[in-house]
Structure 1
Amino acid sequence: MSGVANSQVYQLKVSLRRISPMISRRLLVPEEMTLYALHRTIQIAFGWEDCHLHAFKLHGRHYGRTWTGERHRDAAGREVTFVDLQLRVRQRILYEYDFGDLWEHEIRVEAKHEREGGKVYPVCIAGARAGPPQDIGGPPGYAALLDRLRFGDIERLLRGEDVVLGR
């Protein structure tokens, strides 16, 4: 691999599927980043708490922390880097988080750039909307929460009443 100073940076757009309006983040990540490090970066960018299993799906393979029925398994997620995957611009990766709520994130490679000296990566350079609360019930639970906040519970919240959010 070339030296870090000459390495590439991937510009990724990470969008939650089955959510409207779109919730997304635009990230710049170094090519030597592992999928596990990308998982941690997405957790921070979306405000997740990293308390559930996850998996990346690409080229018919699963990478990440999954459940095999008896034990947790990390199928090379800690070792596989962007260089190893040889990702191309416009290529897509599926990232699943919380297999109960099933948050599906589409990761799209938007561009590759030369690394700028003195810059620290990864970095979130843009985003749209706040991430959903943890353990809200996935996209259907989040949609129900938004409906409740639009039609009634917001008034109670504004009056200072306690409102139970979630399922």
Structure 2
Amino acid sequence: MPEHLTLGQLHHVIQVVMGWAKEHLHTFSIRGRRYGEAHGGILQFCTVANELPLTAFHFREHDGFVCVYDFNVWWRQEIRMERRMLRRQPGQLPRCVAGCGQCPPEDIGGIER
């Protein structure tokens, strides 16, 4: 993932990967602070995610944070900086390097308890 992406752009990438359509609110929790977009004054965030690049957080290898999407069902994605590396090969970024199975549909309603 390129470091110059903003949290808003990262949220867009997560939406594409999950096959979702940005129908619900979300928040990133990084080092005890919440970041996201305010929608009609519903939630108050520390700053607007669309303006904050990942480089602003000075992540080190193995640092992580959380993204929560759809506050009714609380889809929680843990995001971790696995490795920092210079871009050696030309290619389109971001790209998926691993994974299996299907993601839950947008309005599935969460995990049965």
TM-score range, shorter chain: 0.7 to 0.9
User: Which residue is equivalent to 1:65?
Assistant: 37
Q: Which has the higher helix share?
A: 1
Work out the CA distance in 1 between the residues paired with 2:98 and 2:92. 16
* SS, match of residue 96 in structure 1: strand
Q: Which amino acid is 1:60 matched to?
A: G
The equivalences for 1:65-144 within 5 A come to 65-66=37-38, 70-71=41-42, 75-116=47-88, 118-140=90-112
Shift in CA distance, 95/30, structure 1 to aligned 2, threshold 3 Å: same
> 1:90–1:110: 8 Å Cα contact kept in structure 2?
yes
> Which string of whole-angstrom CA distances, capped at 9 and with x for unpartnered residues, describes residues 3-41 of structure 1?
xxxxxxxxxxxxxxxxxxxxxxxxxx1010101000000
- Off by >6 Å, runs of 4+ in structure 1: none
The Cα of 1:128 is off from its aligned counterpart by 2.1
Work out the CA distance in 2 between the residues paired with 1:35 and 1:137. 25
Question: TM-score under structure 1 normalisation?
Answer: 0.61
The Cα of 1:65 is off from its aligned counterpart by 2.4
The Cα of 1:45 is off from its aligned counterpart by 0.5
* SS, match of residue 84 in structure 1: helix
> Which string of whole-angstrom CA distances, capped at 9 and with x for unpartnered residues, describes residues 48-98 of structure 1?
121100110001111112557x44666320111111110111111100000
Structure 1 gap segments, 5+ residues each: 1-28, 144-167
Instruction: Indicate the structure (1 or 2) with the bigger Cα radius of gyration.
Output: 1
Work out the CA distance in 1 between the residues paired with 2:107 and 2:38. 18
Q: Which amino acid is 2:100 matched to?
A: A
Work out the CA distance in 2 between the residues paired with 1:104 and 1:139. 12
Alignment: residue pair count: 112
Work out the CA distance in 1 between the residues paired with 2:38 and 2:79. 19
Q: Aligned pair 1:31/2:34, yes or no?
A: no
Q: Which has the higher strand share?
A: 1
- How much is the aligned-residue C-alpha RMSD, in angstroms? 2.0
Work out the CA distance in 2 between the residues paired with 1:109 and 1:72. 27
Shift in CA distance, 97/66, structure 1 to aligned 2, threshold 3 Å: farther
The Cα of 1:139 is off from its aligned counterpart by 2.2
* SS, match of residue 106 in structure 1: strand
